Amino acid sequence: MILVLISVPALAQHTLHGLLDQYADDVEEEVIAWRRDIHANPELSNREFRTAALVAQHLESLGLEVRTEVAHTGVVGLLRGSADGPVVALRADMDALPVTELVDVPFASTVRTTYLGQDVGVMHACGHDNHVAILMGVATVLSRARDQLPGSVKFIFQPAEEGAPAGEEGGAELMLKEGAFLDPRPDAIFGLHVWPERVGQIAYRPGSFMASVDELYIKVTGRQTHGAIPWGGIDPIVVASQIILGLQSIASRQLPVTATPSIITVGMIRGGVRNNIIPDEVEMRGTIRTFLPEVRSDIEARIRRTAENIAAASGASVEVNIINGYPVTVNDEALTEAMLPTLRRVVGDSMVVSADLVTGAEDFSYFANEVPGLFVFLGITPEDQDPASAPRNHSPYFYTDEKALKVGVRTLANLAVDYMQANQ
């Protein structure tokens, strides 16, 4: 007979993992119901009043310490475990998008609102309804296991990840300003985002993961003249065209493309009112994406130099305004490595994959700049559908296979518990 000796801490850990799985099973139907309710009642950034009330009521029913109206509509819940150990933060974003839903499900959104002066539909086209429901489920699971938690968990339900309305502050940055990380301060933070990949799959990447995002505004001023006599003025349309081409050479010819990618996209150009009039001004708007802070600063300087020199060569003047948005989302490398066994245990080795760099941006980056963070993608594409052809986030056809919800609950709950146990 072979005797297998298991230490008491290891046995306790094994038992707790089993309880977490059991509690996740128990709460699955409720998580699905929450998700459908939130999906049918989406709210835009800084207007997540109904969602925040639902979250706060649930956290209070679990006996958590709850703060509301953090960064307008944000909710922070604190679950204290059985010991004064590590503090783990878990984050979910709550806002929807001005998108008219085209998915044929019984709980499809029919909500409409006014956005930038237009009547628009509102939809959880980025999947934040899933994030909220998953984290509400995690709160249920961990509160049932609170007597075995060697630390505390902060549940951060964040508004305005998609960006605050014009003239307002919001999102993760404002939550931090208003003390979301205080009393107590987290030692680490975890988050996830649903993504069109195989249902239940977890994708991760150590280090830089998602791009920084900055808004680019350029105004070229020339001198108006007749279109048949261009030498009688200074043509800002031609200058703007040259600037656009010059900007493209920054990423392709001035930066080491093998070290890190970068993107400069001009998405709007506007100038002139008539076919035979060369106008005074042309305005351009665009976006800048980078993956390293030092590249972010460098590329901004190169944009200004390129635009100013091209304009000067033609006798025009130029104004360049770059508005910094979200920083690079960086997964702490040591934390990522330490938590990989947890991810593999939860979903299986074959379902944990390394992700490519993502040119989309996330304001989870602000939280991860304060404390070590790990942000992962959770696949939600049905098994009978090719993820490569599945509708992407922000599509009116974006669809979630709800089998992924329990996986999300188990993932965040186990990450929190394993981190606390390893660092007590």
Residues marked active site are found at 326, 402
Please give the pLDDT value at position 5: 41
The reply to whether 368 falls in a domain is yes
Q: How confident is the model over 246-258, as pLDDT tens digits?
A: 999 999 999 998 8
Tell me the Cα Rg of the chain: 24
Strand partners, 350: none
Strand partners, 93: 158
Contacts (Cβ under 8 Å, ≥6 apart) of 58: 136, 139, 140
CA distances (Å), 113 to each of 116, 122, 168, 393, 395, in order? 10, 7, 18, 21, 18
- Domain total in the chain: 2
Residues 290-311, mean pLDDT to the nearest whole number: 96
- Round to whole Å and give the CA distance between 16 and 22: 10
Residues 169, 147 within the same domain? yes
SS3 of the chain: helix, strand, coil, percent, to 5? 40, 25, 35
Q: How confident is the model over 100-151, as pLDDT tens digits?
A: 999 999 999 999 999 999 999 999 999 999 999 999 999 999 999 999 999 9
Q: What angle do helix axes 333-347 and 403-422 make, rounded to 10 degrees?
A: 130
**How do 87-93 and 207-210 pair as beta strands?**
unpaired
CATH number of the domain that 343 lies in? 3.40.630.10
Q: Cβ(134)–Cβ(192) under 8 Å?
A: yes
Within 230-341, strands assigned E span 263-270, 277-278, 281-290, 317-324, 329-331
DSSP H helices, 41-112, are 49-61
Q: Cβ(192)–Cβ(377) under 8 Å?
A: yes
Residues 111, 176 within the same domain? yes
Please name the amino acid found at residue 246.
G
- Round to whole Å and give the CA distance between 40 and 34: 10
Last residue of a domain, one of 290, 324, 358: 324
pLDDT band at 259 (very low <50, low <70, confident <90, very high): confident
Three-class DSSP labels, 354-376: ECCCECCCCCHHHHHHHCCEEEE
The reply to whether 361 falls in a domain is yes
Residue 193 is part of which domain span? 8-211+328-422
pTM of the model: 0.93
Residues 320, 242 within the same domain? yes
